[in-house]
Amino acid sequence: MRSPGKPTFSSTPAVSNLKMRILGVDTALRTTGFGILDTDGRSFQAVDCGVIKTTAKEPLSECLRRLAGGVRELVKQYAPDVGAIEGAFFFQNARTALVLGSARGAVIATLAELAIPMYEYSPRKMKQAVCGHGNASKEQVALLVSQVLGISVGALPNDATDALGLAICHAQTCVTANGLMTPDPL
């Protein structure tokens, strides 16, 4: 039996027998995207995706409580092996950076509490994995996620398609060079 979050590979490097369920999370305070993806190392299947929303009138502490509760419910319902989260990037507005950091912290702490390994990918790395270049727009990411997964994303928020993109990025990173480029868990 394999331990959660640790990909298993065959002895032939070109053919992997990776099997895992990945929870991708695109964090924000008001609208956090999630995507659940199953992969065998060669194909991807979207299980579910959507957003965890809070209203603008809620205080920060309530938003973080709801975000953590939403992540707990996703883990309870879908039992992911690993999580993939968007890494922090530079903000000119310090308040925006602190709020996003709080939301990321709530997700990371909740997954750590539930013993789900979490891997971080920069927005550029996710876009490279999904679109082939790191300067892709959110619309390009959504289009290619749609094509890779064979789903219609027209009615989905960009936060949900970005979360699916993070899950695809983690799956591809685990397979490429037998996982040698997989980052250390957070």
Which candidate in 38, 81, 120, 159 is catalytic? 159
Helices 123-131 and 138-149 pack at an angle, to 10 degrees, of: 50
Q: Can 26 be counted among the known catalytic residues?
A: yes
The Cα–Cα gap between 58 and 67 comes to 12
User: E strands of the chain, at which residues?
Assistant: 20-26, 31-39, 44-53, 82-86, 118-121
Amino acid of residue 114 = L
Q: Can 86 be counted among the known catalytic residues?
A: yes
- For Cα atoms 43, 8, 87, give the angle at the middle one, nearest 5 degrees: 70
Whether the Cβ atoms of residue 121 and residue 166 lie closer than 8 Å to each other: yes
Q: Biggest alpha carbon distance in the chain? A: 55
Whether the Cβ atoms of residue 23 and residue 74 lie closer than 8 Å to each other: yes
Which candidate in 26, 38, 120, 162 is catalytic? 26
Which candidate in 38, 81, 86, 162 is catalytic? 86
The Cα–Cα gap between 106 and 98 comes to 12
Active site residues: 26, 86, 159
